[in-house]
Chains A and B, each alone.
Chain A
Amino acid sequence: MSGEQELVARAARGDVDAFSKLYEQNFDRVYRYLYVRLGNEAESEDITQEVFAKVLEVISSFQWRDVPFASWLFRIAHNKMIDHIRKEKKIERVDSEETVLSLDDPDPADMAEQNLQLEKVRHNIGRLSPAQREVIWLRFGAGLTTTEVASALGKSTGTVKALQYNGIVALRKMMEIHA
């Protein structure tokens, strides 16, 4: 049994230390994944809490079937986010935008330079194909390994690598066009 497997098994049995460790290991990256997708701090905070409440609720039913814990966790995060979007009747803004933010776009309000850069990256990612951006979000936003991303999305690692590669090529082109 791997270290992580043992940790999950202990957490499922009600070991608070094991659960805390899993929580601390994943809290930031779940938040980051949600934030880079939603772009809203308050919504990301709410859903992050909902994700871990859900994990707490269902961790005892988690079984190792060649699915890494991180893949399972981010599936929950993904589902929670989709539920949230449906509930709020929101359409991801990036889907409906025709233009790509370029480096010389005017500063939105008083956005700090760092935030502006981040927003540009987020919006450009939003212009990728759905499969490419899901891979980029999970790889770069959540920090999942290629294997974990493949498992979370039900794709092969080869496909994930290709989507990642082509996604970055597309991002590069967007940046070159607007530089």
Chain B
Amino acid sequence: MSEKFEDLFDRYVDRFVAGEDLSSCVEDDETGLSDLLMPLLQTSELVAHQLRSVEPSPQFRVAARHRIRNLFFARLARRESSPGFLSMWWQRRWATAMVTAMVVCLAGLGVLAASVNALPSGFFYPVKTTTEQVRLVLTTSEYERTQLQVEFVERRLSEMRSMAGRGDTEMAVLLGGEVTRLVVQMSTSALFDVANGSAITIGPPTTEEAVSPVAALQANREGSLNLLTVLLDAAPEELKPRIEHLMSELSRDFDATITQLETRTTQASQ
């Protein structure tokens, strides 16, 4: 009975929240229960009516709209001015041939070797990620491709730690997401006996601090580790030690990055 009341009551609340008044709601009541619920319906209407009366001032509305539009375009401009390292090499498959030619040229100049230790803020970083993409494209063996992917995950982990150490939280979080993306990409390999790698989803953080950098890193850490655990079971024997090593590195580097961010947050709040 109680549950029925709650369901019926909820339908009335929907209507009050939408701005209907009590008399029109009761008018078309077919359950005959509105009399019983009347005191509660009156209270609900009062609460809905009072809270609906809260509105932002017209001046604030205009000023806020202006500000958010400016912010929107500022972010857009920043994104377009540096399409960069994260989007370039996985969005532009059509450019593979051109990139290959570039890599061949740069290889002759020794730039590729110099780029291996480049960080996202560095001049050579696009060369580094482009080279990675080309190496993946040119590899025909599934086993070698997976080995490369493991190597690239390790690079992103190391970069994530370095960027967090330099105080670039945004980049560290981006790189944490990139680690997860690469692990998911790895899981689609035919080497693993996983029915469909893409079906293994990594959900968003669900805690109260859902959007904090630390929560984002924690979600990526857990998601990547869960997926790697699945892959470890399904991996060929010769690959298992490599994946186990990657899991331990991943735990260590995410933990170190999270600790760095937390320490910085604590220091900033003091």
Contacts and interface: CB of A to CB of B under 8 A. Distances in A.
A53 B71 contact: yes
A161 B6 CA distance: 6
Contacts of A171: 43, 47
B9 A161 contact: yes
Contact of B71 (A45, A56, A169): A56
Contacts of A53: 68, 71
Contacts of A45: 56, 60, 64
A84 to B, nearest CB: 13
Nearest to B79: A14
A82 B53 CA distance: 24
Contacts of A117: 50
A139 B43 contact: no
B64 A79 contact: no
B72 A125 contact: no
Interface string B1-39: 001011101100110110000000000000000000001
A145 interface: yes
Interface string A155-179: 0001001101100110110010000
Interface string A47-68: 0110011101110011101010
A47 to B, nearest CB: 11
A23 B51 contact: no
B204 interface: yes
Interface residues on B, range: 35 or more
Nearest to A165: B6
Interface stretch (A1-9, A24-32, A92-100): A24-32
B154 to A, nearest CB: 23
B201 interface: yes
A114 B51 CA distance: 11
A28 B7 CA distance: 27
Nearest to A82: B208
A56 B50 contact: no
A164 B68 CA distance: 34
A125 B65 contact: no
A57 B76 CA distance: 10
B210 interface: yes
Contacts of A76: 210-211
A85 interface: no
A93 to B, nearest CB: 17
Interface centre among B51, B53, B71, B177 (most CB of A within 10 A): B51
Contact of B64 (A48, A61, A65): A48
Interface in B38-81: 39-40, 43-44, 46-48, 50-57, 60-61, 64-65, 67-69, 71-73, 75-76, 79
A75 B211 contact: yes
B108 interface: no
Interface in B252-266: none
B204 A28 contact: no
Contact of B61 (A27, A36, A41, A75): A27
B238 interface: no
B22 to A, nearest CB: 13
Interface of A: 14, 16, 19-20, 23, 27-28, 31-32, 35-36, 41, 44-45, 48-49, 52-54, 56-58, 61-63, 65, 67, 72, 75-76, 78-79, 82, 114, 117-118, 121, 125, 136, 139-141, 143, 145-146, 154, 158, 161-162, 164-165, 168-169, 171-172, 175
Interface of B: 3, 5-7, 9-10, 13-14, 16-17, 39-40, 43-44, 46-48, 50-57, 60-61, 64-65, 67-69, 71-73, 75-76, 79, 177, 201, 203-204, 206, 208-212, 216
Given A65-B203, A117-B50, A168-B40, 10 more contacts: A16-B76, A31-B55, A48-B64, A76-B211, A79-B208, A114-B53, A121-B47, A121-B50, A169-B40, A175-B43
